Every structure is written in structure tokens, then in C-alpha cells.
Chains A and B, each alone.
Chain A
């Protein structure tokens, strides 16, 4: 299971500054083995399912019929484009709000003379540790006028209640509400990444800048931010990818259907409904359609991610 390269005399090689591919493959292979057997192969094999119809016992090759159905069938395509649109909104909240908060917190928390940084960072992270099942349940009650209206009005916070339907019950506000809960819960993750990135900046650079008279804001925008562009790109990509696979937060607050009236339906829930569980109550999954959904999104993600990767990553 584990490589023990240290004992291997071959690893004593690489004394040259630029060893070749065969040398480096030894470092790559352990990861590749796990990745290929337990992820890449099963997933690519499942992508193949998008060309089939039916489930295990009744599977048939149908060519691109699932894709045709996904994009032309009135019901399926309406759901798909609706989820697609919702997902962009969901992503926008995370990209703009969550990452801005994360970068702000990280900038503050890497201020070396500030006290209590570890304490704050831990508090920011604590919501991430709680199962989504729990946060969903709590927010469902806290945002429900049935329970929240009277207590909040008593303390003069009545405006926080959306009466009578509730933030999660009104199709016009539900998606925003779900997005905000998700931002609230996961902001600790980008914060942590930006903290790691800011900490990697060479102090000498900042010092040189401050000697030259740059104020902290200038230091922040002209030195610290440009230096962590690769990490910003990385976080952006991870946000993008994670959001288009998001599932739990909607499931725990708005059912698998993305209630009310599909206003919180995301690609993740749509995929689960069609590909894994099947539409309630029949519950007969259509792995072909599910696979077509994730394959289409996969292609879209690739188109979004590769340019960002090329732009921000691996610059010498």
C-alpha cells in the first residue's frame, strides 16, 4: 500500500538538476494507482453509461438518445436549464461573497501583531465541522415564521423574518437563503486557504514595500493580492467545481426536489434525482440520464476551468 522509496537505490539518483520522466514517475505512481483504480476508471466507465438506457438488468445501448432527451424533452430540459441557472446564482454568491469574506478574514488573520488570530480562525471554521443535516435543520426552524416570528419581534428583529411564507418557502427568496446558509457554513475553507497563501509571502517583500512608503492598503492590493493570484485562481476553480456538485445543503433544507417550485434545484440535486435515486415516489433511477447530466456539466466545467488554470497556474 505504501511506497518505501527511501530504501530504493534508484531514488538516490536524480542527482542531476533535471532528472527525467522515468525518475519522476516513481513519485507519481502511488497516487496514480489509487486515483485510477478507485476514481478515474469507475467514473469514466460511468460516463459511458450516458450512452445507455435502463438499469442493470435491462441496459441497452442507445447512442446519444439521453443527451437528445436532456436537451429537447420538455420536462427534462426545463428542469436542467432551471437547475443550471440556479447553480450559477448559487455559484455567484459563493464566488463573490464567500471568497471576498475569506480573503478579508485571511488578510486580517495573517496580521502578525494581532492577538487571538488562532481563536478567530477556529470560530470561523467551527460551522464547517457540523453535519449539513444539522445546519439545515437549525436554519429551517430559525427561518420559519412559525417559530421565529414571535421571538424575533420580541427583541426588535422582526425584519429578519420573511412573513408569512418564510425565506425558504418563498420561491423568490429560497435560493438566496440557501446560498447564504452555505456561504455561512463553508467560509472557513477559503479563509484557511488564503491564510496559507498569505503566510507563504516572503516578509522581505512587504518590508521593502513599506520602506518605500506603501500604506497597508497599497501593500494589500499591490503586493499581497498579486502574489497570491495562483491561490485565488485555485480557490475560484474549487468553488466553481464544488458548487456545481453541491447537493447536501439543498437536500437538507429544501428536499430533493429543490422546493419551493424547483427554485433551489441545483445540478447536484437534479443529477441525484434522475441518476441515483429516481424521482420520488417511483424511485426508478435513470443512470443514463444522470450520467448525461454530469457529463454535460463536466464538459462545461472543463471549458470554464482550463482557461483559468492556464492563466493563473504554473507561471514561472
Chain B
């Protein structure tokens, strides 16, 4: 392999032409690995997709094949019969607001913990980290009572604080580490100019840790979007239900309309993918920000 491939971007034009061919060649094994895994990752998704076009029993007669009779009934049910747009809106609000708050208060806290290095700060750091080690379900009854006291039950407000609190241990854990890993000279210029710490936080630190922020957001995105437990207990009102909660009605005790369920749940993955793509753009931005410093 070419020892210079990593820095090839910076080489001059004449060298580039001859090298680019070799670089392309070099990536072939990489592409093979990635294509192979992409296939492994996606083939169940393929079966998921084709089965959303089948009728209830065909899924069991012909799971692996294309539908013998294509039907859009499952999709129609999604957009007509019920209030799935409301449910989607609720899930979306829950995820976006919770994630925003996790990142906002989490990165502030991590910024402090990475710079303020005393025994107290270590203690606070460990206090957050141990939050990852107990199942939150254990606290349900107490949380229920707190929400009741706050008069938040049956509204999305009962969900935000729980999800924010749930996301904070990982946020503090990951972000502290990343902020700590930033080169110290990054700040010095800021201090010299007399910028406040807060200004440094949002002008310098936040742009630099974009990949880490995206990581935290994505890490928490999936469990929040797919959480069933807290909506199940806190929310019974139709107009405040989340997608997954609404889906449980379709999942019967002894008989389940799987194609319809698969359709709704496949559709419910779409917003997550969109949010993922939005956030993963931050990886690239972080990259650029990192390059500027050099």
C-alpha cells in the first residue's frame, strides 16, 4: 500500500494523476468489506420492505419472495384510519426537544468537568457515570409520582425530563472525554483575547466537538424514539401518544396483523434515518473545523 495515501490530498497535481489510479486500486479491499457488510446489514431490511406489500397471511406462505399480489392496504391504513401523523409529530417533538436539552446541558456540564479538575469534579463525573449502570425501569414508580406532582402526566412533558435525565450520563461521559482530548492551545488564544469561558464554550468547543455531539445525539436518538415503557405508563391520551405506543394497539394478545405492524414500524424508522443523516453531517463539519486549526 502507498504510504502516502492518507496525506495524498495535499500532494501536488502532477503526482496526483498517476497516484489516483493506485489509490483507487488500494481501496478495493475496503470496498469489498463494506459491500459485504452492507449486504449483511440490508438483507433483512429487504425482507421487511417486501413484506409490507403483502396481505396478512401471505407473509407466512411466502416470506422470502416478492408479493404474489401487491397491496398498498398496509400503507393506506397508516395514512387514513388513524392519527398517525399526530403520533409522528409527538415522537418527533419528544426526540428533538430531549436531544437538544441533552446536548445543551450535557455539553455545558462536560465542558466544566473537563476543565475543572478537582476531587469534587471527579466525584460529580463519577456520579453521572454510575447513572448508566442501573436500569431506569427500576425507578418507574417514583418517576410516576414525581410526574403526578408536577401535573405532567398524560402530556409529553412527562417524557422530556425522563429522557433528558436518561441521556445525560452518556452525554457527560462521552463529551467530557472528547473535550478533554482537545489540544490545550485551542483555548489559549481565546483567553488571551479576554473571551469569557462561556464564549469559548460556544465559539470554540462546540464546533470542535461536533462529531462527539452527533455521536451523543445518535446514541440517544434510537432508545428515545423506540421507547415504549414510559409512554405506556405515563400517557393514555390519544393526542399525546407516540408512534410506538400507538402501534401496541395493533399488536394483539393472540393474533397480530404483522404486515401492518411491519409497515408502520418500517415507516417509523424513516424519521430516525432522516435525523441520523442530519446529525451525521456534523461529522463532516467537525472534520473541517479540525482541519482549520492545523
Contact = CB atoms under 8 A, between A and B. Distances in A.
A134 B265 contact: yes
B109 A31 contact: yes
A118 to B, nearest CB: 7
A155 to B, nearest CB: 9
A138 B47 contact: yes
A301 interface: yes
A107 to B, nearest CB: 9
Given A111-B27, A192-B218, A298-B133, A216 B1 contact: yes
B294 A34 contact: no
A190 B3 CA distance: 27
Majority secondary structure, A binding face:
helix
A131 B269 contact: yes
Contacts of B183: 202
Contact of B131 (A40, A101, A290): A40
Contact of B120 (A21, A130, A142): A21
B197 interface: yes
A219 B6 contact: yes
A28 B1 contact: no
A123 interface: yes
Contact of B215 (A108, A192, A247): A192
Contacts of B131: 35, 39-40, 43
Interface stretch (A9-17, A87-95, A170-178, A255-263): A9-17
Interface stretch (B66-74, B77-85, B163-171): B163-171
Contacts of A216: 1, 3, 5-6
Contact of B3 (A26, A184, A214, A291): A214
B48 A17 contact: no
Interface stretch (A62-70, A75-83, A161-169, A270-278): A270-278
B212 interface: yes
A112 B266 contact: no
B130 to A, nearest CB: 7
B41 A184 contact: yes
B165 A39 contact: yes
A126 interface: yes
B206 interface: no
B215 A38 contact: no
Contact of A234 (B135, B162, B174): B174
Contact of A203 (B115, B191, B194, B291): B291
Closest 10 CB pairs of A and B: A42-B139, A27-B112, A38-B165, A31-B109, A42-B142, A24-B116, A196-B211, A39-B165, A129-B272, A14-B197
